Amino acid sequence: MMQNILVLILGILPFVDIAAQSKAKPAAQPLANSSKVYYLKNFSASFGVDLFGGAYTDFKLTGSKINPFSWAVTREEMPVNNQQGATFKGHFLCLGRWGAPTEGEIKAGVPHNGQSGNRYWQLNKQINNQRLVMRSNAPMDGIAITRTVAMDAQSPVVKISEKVQSTTTIARLFNMVQHATIGPPFLDTSTVIDCNAGKGFLQSMAYPDPYRFEFTWPNAVMDSAGSLCDLRSSATPFSYVSTHIFNDSIGWITATNAAERLMLGYIWKTKEYPWVNVWQQWKENRLWAKGLEFGTTGIGKSYQELLAINTSFHGISSYRLLDAGKFVEKSFYCFLFPIPAGFKGVKSIQLYKGNIEVTGKEKDSKIIIPTTLSL
């Protein structure tokens, strides 16, 4: 079979001018509940970041109309304690917690998934349309975050680096989840999810014993009778959250739409994000959302419930401790790339000599994505 190797080089896609270096000027506060999207661009792609909630809401190849981050919820669909802030959309960050606060925290006004995803971020700097530096203070959570979003000069690759620091005088339990969510038309029943995940469990059957119905990617145990589901497929007509740990130092996950000849992918260090949660949601008999959520927690419960029993899974816990005045730093790659006709999905991904090397499932298939960004 003829070898399929795609290498992104200058000249393949239309050229887009890049603005001269500049620093973003302080802007007037946007209207309540309004988006304010800034774009990073190179000749191959554009990447949109919404300061209202800090979500990544738009990632397109030049000349394409397909945006994997089209998913969003309405204000009416948001949790009651999130009604006044940003809505969940695209790839947003769960910071401080994954999911619901405790009853007392909700009464105190703490929103689901943390305060940073609920409010405006400050844009500190924008350079050459290829780098943003932004910051969010979350006093309800006792943390602040500084984020750098950098786009490769040529390739459709973005690197996100985040530094989270405690702003309290006491230690606190802490979690951080990258809630990357794809929607139609990129998401349909033919979309294939590939990942190097290992052992896992279904959220609906995880608490209080995540070992009871344990399985290994990609064959999920869906009920107590032992019914199996292929997690790579998006054609299964039901909703679930499947959670996994890794055996490798690098974690990766991809979503591939063969009809659109497009692949979205993420790469990260598993020592920084040891869990991945694949969320599939059907709504009104249609596939509505697919979450590719990698983070520091595997069981979506409040800290009260996580501490009530031993919720670790093969030595990996579902929470971290952020001490007073301390900080953590984490980063990951996000890439969007055209795939050849007949591409059947991803077998493996490696980082090698500055390249992202994607090996396909068909014989002699390899996609090479060069990048100057270092993970």
Q: What is the mean pLDDT of the chain?
A: 90
Whether a cis peptide bond, with omega within 30° of 0, leads into 185 is yes
pLDDT exceeds cutoff 80 at 20:
no
Please give the Cα distance from 160 to 151 (Å, whole number). 9
pLDDT of residue 336: 98
Closest C-alpha among 347, 90, 338, 312 to residue 218:
347
Please give the Cα distance from 301 to 226 (Å, whole number). 24
pLDDT of residue 14: 31
**Nearby residues of 166 by Cβ (< 8 Å), 6 or more positions away:** 142, 143, 172, 322, 323, 324, 325, 326, 327
For 27-78, how does the pLDDT look when each residue is reduced to its tens digit (9 = 90+)?
444 445 688 999 999 999 999 999 999 999 999 999 999 999 999 999 899 8
pTM: 0.91
Pair of tokens at residue 197 = 């995940």
Pair of tokens at residue 273 = 């994000």
SS3 state of residue 149: strand
The residue length of the chain stands at 375
- Backbone angles phi and psi of 107, in degrees to 5: -65, -30
pLDDT of residue 82: 82
Q: What are the structural domains, with CATH classification, of the chain?
A: 4-370 (2.70.98.10)
Range list of H helices, 78-162: 103-107
Cβ atoms of residues 335 and 268 within 8 Å: no
Give the sign of the dihedral formed by CA 211, CA 216, CA 221, CA 227: negative
